[in-house]
């Protein structure tokens, strides 16, 4: 059994400790906002906040996270009212939207550490892949959300 706190709720996963966090969140907790993209740690679609770090949940087992605090896109905001979400919507950044939960979670971790990130800082911190190519608008929108 693995005990975590997910979106401020205590959770006990009765799963193999080697289960990737991504599948515990999606299948056991029904938190399907966290997406499966590549499954190899490259795309970032599965990014969640673990103890204040942006973590690829497809590459992290629940057994390694005993006692950790996990925040998913559902825990960040239930009504898309987080400043990052509002900025991305206002600036029409989102296209297909598949990568957006992971990007928002990576950006929210960044903004907790750096309230006024430079373009270079954002590009270094947000290495999530987006097939729609939203990157230029995304950087501007994250900076707007920070203000
Ligand atoms: Fe985890 Fe792509 S699904 S990094």
Domains of the chain, first to last: 2-76 (3.10.20.30), 83-146 (1.10.150.120)
Q: How far apart are CA 94 and CA 138, in angstroms?
A: 9
Output DSSP code: residue 58: G
Q: Which two tokens stand for residue 69?
A: 């605090």
* Model confidence at 77: pLDDT above 90: no
- Mean pLDDT for the stretch of residues 86-110: 96
Q: What pLDDT is stored for residue 55 in this prediction? A: 98
60 neighbors 20 (Cβ within 8 angstroms): yes
CA 34 to ligand 1 centroid distance, Å: 10
Q: How far apart are CA 58 and CA 40, in angstroms?
A: 7
Mutation test residue for ligand 1: of 48, 98, 102, 106, the one with most atoms within 8 Å of CB: 102
* Model confidence at 95: pLDDT above 90: yes
pLDDT band at 118 (very low <50, low <70, confident <90, very high): very high
* Model confidence at 97: pLDDT above 90: yes
ipTM above 0.95?
yes
């Amino acid at each position: 059994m693995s005990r975590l706190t997910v979106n401020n709720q205590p959770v006990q996963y009765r799963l193999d400790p080697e289960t990737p966090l991504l599948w515990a969140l999606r299948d056991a907790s029904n938190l399907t906002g966290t997406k499966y993209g590549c499954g190899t740690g490259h795309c970032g679609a599965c990014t969640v906040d673990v103890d204040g770090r942006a973590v690829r949940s497809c590459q992290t087992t629940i057994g390694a996270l005993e006692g950790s605090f996990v925040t998913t896109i559902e825990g960040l905001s239930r009504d898309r009212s987080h400043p990052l979400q509002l900025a991305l919507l206002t600036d029409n950044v989102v296209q297909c939207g598949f990568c957006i939960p992971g990007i928002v979670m990576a950006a929210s971790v960044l903004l907790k550490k750096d309230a006024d990130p430079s373009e270079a800082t954002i590009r270094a911190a947000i290495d999530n892949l987006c097939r729609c190519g939203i990157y230029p608008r995304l950087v501007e929108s994250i900076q707007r959300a920070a203000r």
